[in-house]
Homo-oligomer: A and B are copies of this chain.
Amino acid sequence: MSTSHIFSAFDEELKFLMRRISEMGGLAEQMVADSVRALVNTDVALAQKVISDDAIMDATEREIGDKAVVMIARRQPVAADLREIIGALRIASDLERVGDLGKSNCKRVVAIQGTGIPRKLARGLEHLSELALQQLKEVLDVYTTRSAEKAKSIRDRDEEIDAMYTSLFRELLTYMMEDPRNITSCTHLLFCAKNIERIGDHATNIAETIYYMKTGAQPEGERPKEDLTASVGAIKE
């Protein structure tokens, strides 16, 4: 077998990994969007669909993991080729967790069923998820184009999601204080909001991984990602 044959087989295998990761990314986006629709419309059937989609995510992550180990053992890649495979493993792990967060939202649909979500809270959740999905979509585009600069810039801005999440957090607390009957459903919505905010963390992780794949280094400087609600103390009632 000629060297070019070996390279070409390796390239085919890399393309396979990239294709699978794109598929996982697409499904993760769909699951998160569907989970918010299911919450807002208390659509139990849609929630059930997202919950069952999670098995596809798990199986694909496993497939990528198995393939990656076989590729490393057989092709013995070094430098950028090796980082490409290690990076695929990390990104698959982050996307699998995004799927888990969508599934977690959907499991709460049944708990809040019948209570009805005030329109303002529903809009807040939708807006938060739009921001998180936008960030996820951009980072998946960067995965295709491999721009280290773009990857760094995604990692460096996450403040909008954090601000939106903090505002929703405060609003949910206010609803709970106004009427104790809101406490159970608002608690579930708090966890859903947190789940969506965490999608931003995973997008940031993926951006860091892409930067690493491209440069072999980690982006410098403290990660800007913070949960600002941790400092929300007593709220005026």
Task: List residues of A whose CB falls within 8 A of some B CB.
Answer: 62, 65, 68-69, 72-73, 76-79, 82-83, 86, 89-90, 93, 104, 107-108, 110-111, 113, 115, 173, 176-177, 180-181, 183-184, 187-188, 190-191, 194, 218, 227, 230-235, 237
Contact of A230 among B79, B108, B181, B190 (CB under 8 A): B108
B62/A188 in contact, CB under 8 A = no
Contact of A184 among B62, B77, B187, B233 (CB under 8 A): B233
CB distance from A80 to the nearest CB of B (A): 11
Task: Determine the distance from Cα of A227 to Cα of B89 in the docked complex, in whole angstroms.
Answer: 26
* Minimal Cβ-Cβ distance residue in B for A81: B73
Task: Determine the distance from Cα of A218 to Cα of B77 in the docked complex, in whole angstroms.
Answer: 25
Contact of A177 among B76, B83, B183, B188 (CB under 8 A): B183
Contacts of A104 in B (CB 8 A): 227, 230
* Known pairs A72-B72, A187-B187 / 7 extra A-B pairs, C-beta < 8 Å: A69-B82, A90-B93, A111-B233, A176-B180, A181-B237, A184-B232, A184-B233
B79/A73 in contact, CB under 8 A = yes
* Minimal Cβ-Cβ distance residue in B for A178: B180
Contacts of A233 in B (CB 8 A): 110-111, 113, 184
Q: A173-B187, A176-B183, A183-B183 are in contact. Are A232 and B111 (CB under 8 A)?
A: yes
Contacts of A65 in B (CB 8 A): 86
Task: Determine the distance from Cα of A194 to Cα of B198 in the docked complex, in whole angstroms.
Answer: 14
Contacts of A93 in B (CB 8 A): 90, 93
User: Which of A72, A79, A90, A115: most chain B Cβ within 10 A?
Assistant: A72
